[in-house]
Chains A and B, each alone.
Chain A
Amino acid sequence: EVQLVESGGGLVQPGGSLRLSCAASGFTFSSYWMSWVRQAPGKGLEWVANIKQDGSEKYYVDSVKGRFTISRDNAKNSVYLQMNSLRAEDTAVYYCARDRLGGLDVWGQGTTVTVSS
């Protein structure tokens, strides 16, 4: 079964850091771009970042540039999102998703990040 499972969310103070992980199974992970998408409470979807199959290209939404870093480990079938200097507006459910020709065809269940003092 094709599956993505996120972990690492939690409560963090403003200015703090958190590392999200996404474990993939059921498909050849190293063949796909991977993305992170977030959804603030009661709001719409926002694309956050994506990474090429070999990790050589990475792109970010402007609001997280310089604070978030996407990475992957193809040997572990995992993609990560390192989040530093967190702000209240980063509070959201974070989803990882498989990128197939631009469309996100497989999604995880999401992990919740809450930034609050």
Chain B
Amino acid sequence: QSVLTQPPSVSGAPGQRVTISCTGSSSNIGAGYDVHWYQQLPGTAPKLLIYGNSNRPSGVPDRFSGSKSGTSASLAISGLQAEDEADYYCQSYDSSLSGSVFGGGTKLTVL
């Protein structure tokens, strides 16, 4: 079991909006540590999608947005496109483990 909990899968039709949740605890997200999100296309290295809860690196479309509240964070993807089909991971820092932790990952299927 991962320290950060994500749904195993989500799906949506092209053009729709989907959200992926990331639930933590008082030793990570709830303690105020930043949440970062990654996209991993099949057979490739992960790519930073959102950093510092809600910031997009240059080149990431504004269809991707992040938010954080309490012990949870969310990644929203609007205007779904076929190329968004990938695995998505959240990441934060955990003070009780003294290290970074990842969510278990969410597979996004574009119907």
Q: Which residues of A pack against B, CB within 8 Å? A: 35, 37, 44-47, 50, 59-62, 95, 100-105, 107-110
A28→B45 CA distance, assembly (Å): 22
A104 x B93 contact (CB < 8 A): no
List chain A residues, Cβ under 8 A from B47: 107
- Since A45-B38, A107-B45, A110-B45 are in contact, a sample of 13 more A-B pairs with Cβ atoms closer than 8 Å, ordered by chain A residue number, is A35-B100, A37-B46, A44-B87, A44-B89, A44-B103, A47-B99, A47-B100, A50-B99, A61-B99, A101-B51, A102-B93, A104-B46, A104-B91
B45 x A109 contact (CB < 8 A): yes
Which of A47, A60, A100 makes the CB contact (< 8 A) with B51?
A100
Q: Is B33 in the interface zone, CB < 8 Å from A?
A: yes
Query: Shortest 6 CB-CB distances between A and B: which pairs?
Result: A103-B51, A103-B36, A47-B100, A44-B105, A107-B45, A45-B102
List chain B residues, Cβ under 8 A from A46: 102
User: Could you name 12 residue pairs across A and B whose Cβ atoms are closer than 8 Å?
Assistant: A37-B102, A44-B103, A45-B91, A47-B99, A101-B34, A101-B51, A102-B92, A103-B34, A103-B52, A104-B48, A105-B51, A108-B45
